[in-house]
Amino acid sequence: AVFDTAFHQTLPEHAYRYALPDSLYREHGVRRYGFHGTSHRFVSQRAAEMTGLPINASNWLVAHLGNGCSTCAVVDGQSRDTSMGLTPLEGVVMGTRSGDVDPNLHSHLARTLGWSLGQIETMLNKDSGLLGLSGMSNDMRTLEQAREQGHAGATLAIEVFCYRLAKSLAAMSCALPQLDGLIFTGGIGENSALIRSKTIAHLKLLNLALDDQANARAVRGASGPIHAQGHPRVLVVPTNEERQIALDTLALLEA
């Protein structure tokens, strides 16, 4: 078995613990676990190879953007923080998942609308995110087309998605001693020049900027740097979780 949480075993305690009663962690394992680990590991290693930096002496911010989305801080080949938590619901806005909300939302909806726990969980996991904000779709391609035609819900969904993603990346930067590059991956990260551009526009304090032509070219499997000259690296790196699983399997067999 290959666990999507495995790469995040290197999170320090101050990153994986919730500010909850200690017994919930000690007796019930309530903590942040993180997901998309196989992808974060693969693309951070691939980025090091592409740039000629040693993986064990390089520092990356990673944005894995698909129907599920998460960010990760990778230091010297190890995960030091990530946006998903106990479940894949925590963190940034996703296709149908809300990402972070006020923890008291559950009780608010139960009291004011009489919703059951099951109804609330379904709403947060399957009816929220890009789908909930736009009122039309969880597919970024559909939303980008609708935005061009002036659809208000699609426009709002994209704005919220990019702003919340940028906030998460800025937060992840707290775990890095320095920034050697930001990596975009996943179906949206590898194919949406608009999302990359809008997200980077919120990160001026990290001195990030894109080369618009390079950004526009990085679609449909094309990889490489898309940053403007004189600014920190921004890379598009297609993920390959199956390859990483195969490599891990071979390493175990050889051992």
The mean per-residue pLDDT over the stretch 3-10 comes to 96
pLDDT for position 98: 98
List residues bridging with 60 in a β-sheet: 74, 181
For the chain, give the percent of residues with pLDDT over 70.
100
Classify residue 56: in a domain, yes or no: yes
Residue 1 lies in a domain: no
pLDDT at 76 (0 to 100): 98
What CATH number does the domain containing 155 carry?
3.30.420.40
Give me the mean pLDDT over the 212-232 stretch.
97
pLDDT confidence of residue 77: 98
pLDDT value at residue 29 = 98
Mean pLDDT, rounded, for 182-195: 98
Is the residue at 79 inside a domain?
Answer: yes
Q: What is the predicted pLDDT for the residue at 185? A: 98
Mean pLDDT of 101-105: 98
Residues 109, 133: Cα–Cα separation, whole Å: 18
146 within some domain: yes
In order of 122, 174, 213, 243, the CA distances from 14 in angstroms are 30, 12, 40, 32
Report how many domains make up the chain. 1
- Look at residue 184 in the predicted model and tell me its pLDDT: 98
Type of residue numbered 231: H
**Alpha-carbon distances of 47 from 51, 74, 76, 114, 138, rounded to whole Å:** 6, 11, 12, 49, 28
Amino acid 19: pLDDT: 98
Q: Is 134 inside a domain boundary?
A: yes
pLDDT at 222: 95
Q: Burial letters for 60-69: b for 16+ Cβ neighbours within 10 Å, e otherwise?
A: bbbbbbbbbb
Summarize the confidence of residues 224-242 as an average pLDDT.
98
Mean pLDDT for the chain overall: 98
How far apart CA 215 and CA 196 sit, in angstroms, is 8
The pLDDT of residue 136 is: 98
Where in the sequence numbering do the catalytic residues fall? 4
- Sheet with 69-75: list strands edge to edge: 78-82, 69-75, 59-65, 181-185, 234-236, 224-225
Q: For residue 122, name the pLDDT band (cuts at 50, 70, 90).
A: very high
pLDDT digits (tens, 9 = 90+) for 67-87: 999 999 999 999 999 999 999
Question: How far is Cα 216 from Cα 226, in angstroms, rounded to an integer?
Answer: 9
What are φ and ψ of residue 20, in 5° steps? -125, 165
pLDDT recorded at residue 42: 98
The model's confidence at residue 35, banded by pLDDT at 50, 70 and 90, is very high
Reported pTM: 0.97
Nearest-angstrom CA–CA distance, 52 and 16: 31
Range of the domain at 105: 6-254
Is position 172 within any domain?
A: yes
Q: Mapping DSSP to helix (H, G, I), strand (E, B) and coil, where does residue 74 land?
A: strand
